[in-house]
């Protein structure tokens, strides 16, 4: 066994040991990152996971990289080596001259020259990336690419194991609090665990509130040097949160006057040094005011008779539709798209989606009858397409997917017409009711097993004109 094989073998042993340990997520991932870097004789390694909206990457663990580099700013998955997000291994010989490098100045400060990245894939979907960095220019060899790809696969299995344990724990906690009324921020429903270790309980509470109102957030993604002496940073400030949709940094305050005074000083100093950066200092009483001002909270909507609870406001829906349209426009760039909807529930969603897609689209509709009882088990097409979809790119647009039976029938029907491609976009995914495992490419919101109305969805022909989505 040569030195390289021996190094890889030792790294695999250390990685397997860490993966089977009961360490906290960040320590476990950082241990795997350290072994991967040593195996490749690299100077550093970072493991990053996609955030829930799949727009940005959160640092799950790292080794050999400075805190200033790790907190260089929000990492946009579609700007920073986007080929990794497409499932490819990326080798960069010279980071400074590669147009995909999002933060070349910070890389130069860290003295990083080359990079090797691989996707972390679970059940056919990229959930994150592992990247190794070197301080000398390096042309990575095929066996090194194979090594990092194998480490990424081990990470995928390890994260799946952790997610399963967390899911079981969340279900247990949900059962305990199921009948409990939401009386404080700490009582909000448990959100999926993200690779974040909060510095204070108030930060975790704020993150839960952001998740509840569907506000995209990044935790401490950037550190701002405020002053330096002899080329050494003497003062630095790391705001608690960054909200990408409104380009705003948030620093939370506590009741201790000394801490408030210090944070006020840092916020003022940051505004002086970085006048283009927007930042706000918030206490708990300011949370809801911020959400209301930026349209995250439904205000002034009339409540229809019979509505019990609003799940998503008009503003939340419109924000999500715009994000879906942006992703679809990017994915189908350079191609003409055919949108197909099933009447009538999809009319609101497909209309708003179409208006926000920035590429040429054609729209067509089908109408079907679904079995009302056991005496009629057939799904019938009442109105067929007017458009020939052969060799065309088709996106099936649904208002809601629950059992998947109707959608599966329609997809089989459309597939027989030989389109160039066929994908699915749904506003609502009621996964808990799924009987047929149909693949959904674009999902607006996942909802619990409740009957919902509004935004085109009805009960007995009523409530379609409700601008929000609600339960009865």
Q: Which residues are catalytic?
A: 402
DSSP-assigned states of every residue in 235-286: EEE--SEEEGGGTEEEEE--S-HHHHHHHHHHHHHHHHH-TT--EEEE-GGG
Omega of the bond leading into 414 within 30 degrees of 0 (cis): no
Q: Do 396 and 412 contact (CB within 8 A), yes or no?
A: no
* Four-residue CA torsion sign, 42, 47, 50, 56: negative
Going from the C-alpha of 308 to that of each of 38, 69, 399, 453, 455, the distances in angstroms are 57, 48, 21, 11, 16
Q: What is the DSSP letter of 185?
A: G
d(CA 142, CA 228): 43
CB under 8 Å to 51, separation ≥6 — which residues? 57, 58, 194, 216, 218
Closest CA to 31 of 40, 42, 18: 18
Local structure of 342: helix, strand or coil:
strand
Residues pairing with 126 in the sheet: 121
Length of the chain: 472
Residues pairing with 381 in the sheet: 368
d(CA 370, CA 377): 8
CB under 8 Å to 62, separation ≥6 — which residues? 30, 33, 44, 45, 46, 47, 70
* Four-residue CA torsion sign, 146, 147, 152, 155: positive
Q: Do 456 and 464 contact (CB within 8 A), yes or no?
A: yes
CB under 8 Å to 179, separation ≥6 — which residues? none
d(CA 82, CA 32): 23
Going from the C-alpha of 93 to that of each of 80, 110, 129, 331, 378, the distances in angstroms are 15, 16, 18, 27, 59
CB under 8 Å to 265, separation ≥6 — which residues? none
């Amino acid at each position: 066994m040569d030195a390289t094989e021996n190094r890889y073998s030792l790294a695999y042993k250390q990685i397997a040991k860490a993966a089977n340990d009961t360490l906290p997520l960040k320590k476990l991932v950082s241990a795997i990152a350290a072994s991967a870097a040593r195996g490749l004789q690299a100077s550093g390694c970072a493991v990053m996971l996609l955030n829930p909206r799949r727009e940005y990457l959160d640092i799950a663990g790292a080794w050999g990289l400075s805190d200033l580099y790790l907190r260089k700013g929000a990492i946009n998955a579609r700007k920073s080596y986007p080929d990794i997000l497409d499932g490819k291994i990326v080798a960069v010989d010279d980071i400074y001259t590669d147009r995909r490098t999002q933060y070349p100045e910070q890389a130069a400060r860290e003295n990083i020259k080359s990079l090797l990245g691989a996707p972390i894939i679970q059940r056919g979907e990229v959930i994150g990336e592992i990247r190794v960095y070197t301080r000398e220019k390096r042309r990575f060899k095929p066996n090194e690419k194979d090594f990092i790809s194998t480490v990424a696969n081990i990470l995928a299995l390890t994260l799946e194991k952790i997610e399963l344990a967390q899911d079981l724990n969340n279900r247990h906690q949900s059962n305990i609090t199921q009948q409990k009324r939401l009386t404080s921020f700490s009582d909000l429903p448990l959100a999926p665990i993200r690779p974040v270790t909060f510095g204070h309980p108030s930060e975790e509470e704020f993150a839960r509130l952001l998740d509840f109102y569907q506000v995209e957030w990044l935790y401490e993604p950037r550190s701002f040097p405020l002053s330096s002496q002899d080329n050494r940073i003497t003062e630095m400030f790391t705001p608690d949160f960054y909200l990408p949709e409104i380009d705003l940094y948030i620093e939370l305050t506590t009741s201790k006057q000394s801490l408030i005074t210090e944070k006020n000083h840092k916020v003022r100093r940051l505004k002086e040094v970085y006048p283009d950066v927007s930042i706000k200092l918030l206490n708990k009483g300011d949370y809801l005011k911020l959400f209301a001002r930026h349209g995250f909270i439904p205000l002034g909507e009339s409540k229809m008779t019979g509505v019990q609870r609003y799940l998503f406001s008009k503003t939340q829906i419109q924000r999500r539709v715009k994000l879906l349209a942006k992703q679809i426009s990017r994915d189908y760039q350079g191609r003409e798209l055919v949108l197909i909807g099933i009447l009538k529930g999809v009319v609101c969603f497909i209309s708003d989606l179409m208006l926000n897609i920035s590429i040429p689209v054609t729209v067509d509709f089908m109408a079907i009858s679904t079995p009302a009882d056991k005496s009629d088990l057939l799904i019938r097409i009442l109105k067929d397409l007017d458009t020939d979809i052969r060799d065309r790119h088709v996106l099936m647009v649904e208002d809601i997917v629950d059992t998947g039976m109707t959608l599966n029938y329609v997809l089989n029907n459309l597939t027989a017409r030989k389109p160039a491609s066929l994908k699915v976009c749904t506003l609502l995914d009621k996964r808990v009711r799924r009987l047929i495992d149909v693949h959904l490419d674009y999902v607006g919101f996942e909802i619990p097993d409740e009957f919902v109305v509004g935004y085109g969805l009805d009960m007995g022909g009523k409530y379609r004109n409700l601008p929000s989505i609600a339960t009865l």
